Amino acid sequence: MRTSPFAALSSLFATTDEQAMWRVQTQEDAAAFAQLVRRWEQPIQRLCARMLGDVHRGEDLAQETFARIFARRKNYEPGGKFSSYLWRIALNLCYDELRRLRRRVTISFEDETDDNASGIHEHADTQLGPDGQAVAGEQAALVRDALLKLPENYRAVLVLRHYEDLKFREIADVLEIPEGTVKSRMAEALTQLSRLLAPVFAEEAKSNSRRATPGKERLLI
Amino acid sequence: MNHPTREDWMSYLYEETDAPARAELTAHLHNCPECQTALDGWRGTMTALQAWQLPAKSGRNETWRPFFKWGIAAALMLGTGFAFGKFAGAKALNMEQLRGALIPALRQELRRELNADVLAAFSESRAGLTNEFRQELRGRLDQWTTDSIAAANVETRRLLSEFAQNREIDQESDRQATLVALRKLDQQQRADYASLLQKVETVAVVAQGGFQETQNQIDQLAFYSQAKFSANK
C-alpha cells in the first residue's frame, strides 16, 4: 500500500470537521458523516472505555454518540469546534450511563451492603467479563480500578488531558468551565490517584525486585 | 517562600507553559524540596497511568499475523528436516546434493518473508509519520487561521477608531471654517448697510436742495406772474 506525496498533500486540504458537519447538517451528506465517524470513532471509543472502565461498553457508547450527533444534527451550532461538541456529547452519555449503572448497583446491593462510593467500581468488576481481555496485565487493571474510584468530573479531565492529549484550554472548552478549574481538577485527580496507586505500585516494585533476583529471565522479559 | 500554584505545576507537567515561566518554575524547583516532592509524586502517577493501554481496534486482527507467518516457516523447516532425516536414513543420500537443493529454496523463502515484513513495517511507520505530519500541519494551520483572524480583528478595530478620530477632527475644522465664513458675511452686510445709509442720506440732502430750488423757482414764477397781471390791469 503506497501513499504518494500527492495524496498526502491533497489530504492536507481535506474537509475540516466543521465543514463535514455543516454538510451533514444542511445536505444530510452521508459520505461526510462517514468521514467524521472514521476520524473520531477511535478517540471517542477510548474516552468512553476509560470513563466506564469497559472497552465493549465504550464501543457501544461511541456508537450511540454518533447516532445522537446525527439525530440532533440540526442542533449543532457551527460557531464552535466540532471536536469539542463531540467530546461533550460523548461525556454526557458516559455520565448518563454511569448514573444508570449506579442506580442498578444500588438496587441490587441495597439489601446486602451499605451504599458506598465505590459502587461503580464493584459493578464494573462484576460486569467486566470479556473486558479482562482488553486490560493487558495486572497493573493495567490496578490503574483502571483506581481511575474508576475518582469522581467522574476529575476522571473526565484526566482522561482528556493525559490519555487523549487535549490542551487544558480545549478541555475548558469541552466542559464549558474556566481553564483554571480544569487545571485544579487535574491536580486533584493526580493527587488522589497518587494516594490510590502509591501503595499498590510500591508493593508491586518490591515483589518484582524479589522475583527478579534469582535469575536473569525476568530482566529479559 | 512563595510556592507556585498547583495549576502552574499542571501546566508545567504537561508542557503547556511558555519558556520564561518554565524557566522560573524550574529555578523554583531547584530551591524547594517541598514542590520537588509533590512534582515527583505526580510524575510517578503519570508514569503509572501509562500501564493502562487500550487495544487498538484494528490491531485485534493484526496481532496473530507475525506468529502465523513464523509458524508456517517453522512448520516448513520441521517438514524439510523430517524429510531430510528420512531420506538420509533410507538411502544415505548425498548431503551436498541435498543441501544444494534445499538451501537456495529456503534462503529465497526467508528473504521473501523478510522483505515482506520490512516492507510492511516501513509502510506502517510511513503511514504513521504521514498521519502525524498531517495532524501537526493541520494544527498549525488552524492556529495560523485563528491568529490571522484575531490580528485582522485588532487591525480593523484600530482602523475604525483612527477613522472616527479623523472624522471628528475634520468635522471640527469644518465647523471653524463655517463660523469664520459666517462672521465675514456678517461684517460685509454691516459694511454694505452703512454705505447704503450714507448714500440714502446723500440722496435725501440732494433732493432737499432740489426741492428748495424748485420752491424758489415757483415763488419767482408766482412773483413774475403777479407783476405781469397787475401791469395788464
Is B121 domain-assigned?
no
Alpha helices in A2-118 (DSSP H): 5-12, 17-27, 30-52, 55-71, 82-109
Residues of B in contact with A161 (CB under 8 A): 14
Task: Enumerate the residues of chain B whose CB falls inside 8 A of the CB of residue A190.
Answer: 10, 41-42, 45-46
B184 part of a folded domain: no
Domain count, chain B: 1
A180 CB neighbours in chain B (<8 A) are 7
Domain that holds residue B1: 1-47
Q: Which residues of B touch A194 (CB under 8 A)?
A: 41-42, 44-45
- Residue B170 within a domain: no
* Grid coordinates of A155: 476522571
Whether residue B36 lies inside any domain: the answer is yes
| Subunit contact B52:A45, Cβ cutoff 8 A | no
* Contact state of A45 with B57 under an 8 Å Cβ cutoff: yes
The answer to whether B43 contacts chain A (CB < 8 Å) is: no
- Does any domain span residue B65? no
Q: Residue A127 belongs to what H/E stretch?
A: helix A119-127
Q: What is the pLDDT of residue A98?
A: 94
Q: Does B46 touch chain A (CB under 8 A)?
A: yes
Q: Confirm whether B86 is domain-assigned.
A: no
Asked whether residue B27 is domain-assigned, the answer is yes
Distance separating alpha carbons of residues B42 and B39, to the nearest angstrom: 5
Is B146 among the domain residues? Answer: no
Of the candidates B10, B126, B141, which has its C-beta nearest A187's C-beta? B10
Global ipTM:
0.75
Phi, psi for B165 (deg, rounded to 5): -65, -50
pLDDT tens for each residue of chain A, 221 residues long: 445 665 666 566 678 899 999 999 898 889 999 999 999 999 999 999 999 999 999 999 999 999 999 999 988 888 889 999 999 999 999 999 999 988 887 776 554 544 443 334 434 444 444 544 444 578 888 999 999 999 999 999 999 999 999 999 999 999 999 999 999 999 999 999 999 987 776 666 666 555 544 433 333 32
Binary contact (B57, A42; C-beta < 8 A): yes
Kindly state whether A201 is in contact with chain B, defined as any CB-CB distance less than 8 angstroms: yes
